[in-house]
Amino acid sequence: MSAGGIRDRFRAQMRQEVKDVALRQLAEGGPGALSLNAIAKELGVSGPALYRYFSGRDALLTELILDAYADLTAAISAAARRLPALAAAYRTWATAHPHRYRLLFGAPLPGFDAHDERLAGAAQRAVDVLLSGVGAGPEPAPPLAGELRHWAHERGADGTDPAVTLHAVAAWSRLHGFVSLEIAGNFRSLGLDPDHFFAAEVDALRSAR
């Protein structure tokens, strides 16, 4: 292997190790716990050395969000076009990776650009999978139908039936609400079995078509 190939492999390995430590920080303390200095100390390198792999906290955070979107999209894509399976895949991924799920849908850290074009594109790919799997729901009222057509146009999905878009957004809202409560332990604290409650939610989503 050439010297350049060895350097590239070492760089990729170091970037992955940095991300692995960052994910542990997220799991233990949330986004606010992300610290490049702490990562550098754990990996046994200097702070400045770490900046050869990530230009700063926000660059690392962006990479972690892109990775999470890619993994979530892959998980639900395997179940696309079948609403119960898609909903189950969404929930399974969220409950298996609660710290990464919160990273995607929690409040952004102060100063972090959550509207980066790469992040918007990654989020759109997840939305496209939802659009492919939910089918049409009730026809929206004219004002909302216009908003949904504009929303679809802005995302390059001209011609999408507003009833499909409405059902996709409504389905995501319910799924997001459910898994957010579940990963926070709210159903258990109420003495409710989240599996039973989730089955009822999926039935409700199916009947709304």
DSSP SS3 for 161: coil
| pLDDT confidence of residue 3 | 64
The answer on 133 and 31 residing in a single domain is no
pLDDT at residue number 116: 87
Tens of pLDDT, residue by residue over 8-43, are: 899 999 999 999 999 999 999 988 889 999 999 999
Amino acid at 122: A
On whether both 67 and 48 belong to a single domain, the answer is no
Same domain, 109 and 182: yes
Residue at which a domain ends, from 36, 54, 72: 54
pLDDT of residue 13: 94
173, 108: one domain: yes
Residue 6: per-residue pLDDT: 83
The predicted structure's pLDDT at residue 196:
94
Summarize pLDDT for 188-198 with one digit per residue, the tens: 999 999 999 99
- Rounded CA-CA distance 91/76 in Å is 9
Residues 50 and 66 in one domain: no
Whether 104 and 156 share a structural domain: yes
Alpha-helical (H) ranges within 30-141 are 36-43, 47-50, 57-77, 83-96, 98-105, 117-134
Coil, helix or strand at residue 96: helix
Q: Do 72 and 160 belong to one domain?
A: yes
* Overall number of domains in the chain: 2
Q: 170 and 103, same structural domain?
A: yes
DSSP 8-state class, residue 56: S
Domain encompassing residue 154: 62-207
Taking 70 as the pLDDT cut, the residues of the chain under it are: 1-4, 209
Residue 177: name the closest of 108, 115, 105, 121 by CA. 105
Is residue 48 domain-shared with residue 105, that is, in the same domain? no
Residue 209: what pLDDT? Answer: 66
Q: Are residues 125 and 199 in the same domain?
A: yes
One domain for residues 16 and 91: no
Q: What are phi and psi of 162, to 5 degrees?
A: -55, -30
| Residue 70 and residue 23 share a domain | no
Q: What CATH number should be reported for the domain holding residue 22?
A: 1.10.10
Specify the CATH number for the domain of residue 158. 1.10.357.10
Question: Rounded distance, CA 80 to CA 98, Å?
Answer: 22
